[in-house]
Amino acid sequence: MAPAPRFDNALCHGYERLAAWADLLDRINVFPVADADTGTNLKISLAPLRQPGPSPRRLRDNLLRAATGNSGNIACAFFGELIGARGLGDLPQRIPSARDKARQAVIDPQPGTMLTIFDALAESVGSNGWSTGHPDCTETIAQLEAAVAATTSMLPDLKQAGVVDAGALGMFIFLEACFAFLFPSDRPLRTVTEIFPSGLSIRTGWAARNHIGEYCVNTMIQSDAGFETVQQALDGYGSSIVVSGMENQIKVHAHTSDRDGLRKRLSRLGAVTQWAEDTMDAPTVAPVRAGDVHIMTDAAGSLTIEDARQLGMTLLDSYLIVGDRICPETLLDPAALYAAMASGTRVTTAQASVFERHQSYLHATRRFDRVIYLCVGSVYTGNYQTATRWQAASDDPDRLTVVDTGSASGRLGIAAMATARFARTASTTDSVQAFAEKALADSRELVFLDTLKYLAAGGRISRTKGFFGNLLHLKPIISPEPEGAAKVGVVRNRREQLDFALQRLSRDLSKATNAMILMQYTDNRPWIESNVVPTIQSTHPKAEILVRPISLTSGAHMGPGTWAVAYLPG
């Protein structure tokens, strides 16, 4: 039997709040490795909970496959046991079982992590009226809050850095929202910064340990060996090892300097069906400074999560649904998206819920005194209307300035990037907003479509009339404008696309000495980098040329073969 819709929706509610605060979790992530990815991994791993509907077994399988990173694998082991709960009456039995499942998955469980939160939750549902069907949710949340605050003193790394554990905080953020949905109240959810006035910023001077030469490995094996056998076999092959799964599908996470040895060891236990590895070097994260004007924009602007970290920006995600897999836009591999589209897999997009967007605005305005939201054009989505309504109802509306950029894709991205750079040294919100508005007015973008079949299949154009008329066998060139996508040309092949781009760049950048040019690709990155970029560099040698994947929500509608160039004069 499928989970009761009410509990399904509570899990979704918890995920949406977690997603909105994930950047904060990344910033305070110091254990077990300070690689600024706890929030990111939880967003990826728990994304299946955002899409209620599959059978409990299918949803557990989706969680298992999505699980990534130390925190993500442990959290998925926990929530996998809650899937299928019919309602509150099941939770006093389900939660202790879920706690045990999460703890058993970890070879070397540590206090002061999300396991501590699961312990506190399991203890709470053993009392506080849960068994009688009248739980004191307020007391349960208070116990979880105290457990998070206590993590700072439980692990040396956390104590030295002066922060709470990122994974523990992530579970608190999720569970508080989940319970708020199950037990409605007139009181709004408290902000995370209000609940924890300390422990949310790394102490000045703290230095992370060096993990050069080590890898974070996430892998799946098909094996009948059993979890305990797999855990025993991995002794000595790394640290932060988490083993979980369903029947003969076993997921393994490990930090190791011997990835080849780990793979050989796993291959002796069964068939390796999935393998992903990342270096454990800490990413560059822009410092948060008092007085900065913070820039927030939509991920529809073709910027990456790495861009956001380096520039100190906030990116607001939409979601991609590829088959039955759901993933935030900035965290999906572009190659996987376009391979799925080429194979005929159904791909759709979804906006973040209004609740998630409101939580994102709250997060930004509680961490920064002044926030400018460069919003994707109101003609394309309802984000501008949602933000302005929230701002009007806010108790401190002056913290947020909402700008309807009238743009999308690379034109939005290049203006947002330039504005974020300017904001690092600007002193007033007005000066940053004026810069942003000029950058938006001066920027241009050309989007080169390879085929119209994806737009037609998605209902974005008519096959018989309308915007593109009878151009289904040609290659239109469009530009995102405040009034919508405007057709600016049509060509027959890739060579003519490049010629058109060169002519427009020559016309619009003839006097620019320090222009920014943003090249965007779908499944054609090698051609962009080996053909297009060198050609443009030869004609605009002083321009800064950046190469990024086109916004995946745009790419999902326009399809493989599409590419684009956005540009901003100096």
CA angle 438/440/446 to nearest 5° reads: 140
Element (H, E) at 272: strand 271-279
Please provide the size of the chain in residues: 570
Q: How many CA atoms lie within 13 A of 534 on its CB side?
A: 5
2, amino acid identity: A
CATH code of 5-195, in short, is 1.25.40.340
pLDDT in tens, 410-427: 999 999 999 999 998 887
pTM of the model: 0.93
pLDDT score of 462: 45
Query: Per the structure block, which two tokens stand in for 538?
Result: 């030869």
Residue 555: C-alpha distances to residues 331, 381, 533 (Å): 14, 16, 20
Average pLDDT rounded to a whole number, residues 223-227: 87
pLDDT score of 461: 54
pLDDT in tens, 61-107: 999 999 999 999 999 999 999 998 877 788 889 999 999 999 999 99
120, amino acid identity: A
Average pLDDT rounded to a whole number, residues 189-206: 94
240, amino acid identity: S
User: Left if phi > 0, otherwise alpha if psi is -120 to 50, otherwise beta: which for 409?
Assistant: left
Q: What band does 288 get if pLDDT is binned at 50, 70 and 90?
A: low
Which residue is it, tokens 């501590």?
116
pLDDT score of 570: 78
Distance between CA 384 and CA 362 in Å, rounded? 15
CATH code of 444-568, in short, is 3.30.1180.10
Q: Are 353 and 326 in contact (CB under 8 A)?
A: no
pLDDT score of 465: 40
Distance between CA 95 and CA 125 in Å, rounded? 8
* Whether the bond into 32 is cis, omega within 30 of 0: yes
How far is C-alpha 478 from the chain's CA centre? Answer: 28
Closest to 70 measured CA to CA, from 155, 167, 135, 152: 167
Query: Per the structure block, which two tokens stand in for 263?
Result: 């793979």
Secondary structure string (H, E, C) spanning 120-149: HHHHHHCCCCHHHCCCCHHHHHHHHHHHHH
Which residue is it, tokens 């703290």?
206
Which residue is it, tokens 């909402």?
402
Burial group, residue 534, by CB count within 10 angstroms (0-12, 13-18, 19+): exposed
pLDDT in tens, 127-180: 767 766 677 788 999 999 999 999 999 999 999 999 999 999 999 999 999 999
Distance between CA 328 and CA 72 in Å, rounded? 15
DSSP string, 176-212: HHHHHHHS--SSPPPPHHHH-SSSSSPPTT--PPP-T
Q: Are 426 and 432 in contact (CB under 8 A)?
A: yes
Architecture of domain 293-442: 3-Layer(aba) Sandwich (3.40)
B/e letters for 315-336, b = 16+ CB within 10 Å, e = fewer, are: bbbbbbbbeebbbbbbbbebee
Tell me: pLDDT of 307 over 70.
Answer: yes
Q: What order of strands is seen across the sheet that includes strand 516-521?
A: 484-491, 475-481, 444-448, 563-568, 516-521, 544-549
Distance between CA 144 and CA 496 in Å, rounded? 61
Query: Per the structure block, which two tokens stand in for 62?
Result: 């989706």
Q: What band does 336 get if pLDDT is binned at 50, 70 and 90?
A: very high
Q: Are 410 and 550 in contact (CB under 8 A)?
A: yes
Q: Where are the domains of the chain?
A: 5-195, 215-279, 293-442, 444-568
Which residue is it, tokens 């590895």?
277
Distance between CA 154 and CA 142 in Å, rounded? 19
Q: What band does 514 get if pLDDT is binned at 50, 70 and 90?
A: confident
User: Left if phi > 0, otherwise alpha if psi is -120 to 50, otherwise beta: which for 128?
Assistant: left
Neighbours of 104 (CB within 10 A): 15
Closest to 241 measured CA to CA, from 261, 211, 216: 216
392, amino acid identity: A
pLDDT score of 435: 97
Q: How many CA atoms lie within 13 A of 22 on its CB side?
A: 31
Element (H, E) at 455: helix 453-457
Q: What order of strands is seen across the sheet that includes strand 400-404?
A: 314-316, 293-298, 370-375, 400-404
Closest to 435 measured CA to CA, from 318, 443, 55: 443
- Percent over 70 (pLDDT), the chain: 93
Distance between CA 349 and CA 179 in Å, rounded? 28
Tell me: pLDDT of 3 over 50.
Answer: no
Distance between CA 149 and CA 195 in Å, rounded? 10
Q: How many CA atoms lie within 13 A of 19 on its CB side?
A: 31
DSSP state at residue 399: G
Closest to 214 measured CA to CA, from 164, 282, 314: 282
Domain 215-279 is classified in which CATH homologous superfamily? ACT domain (3.30.70.260)
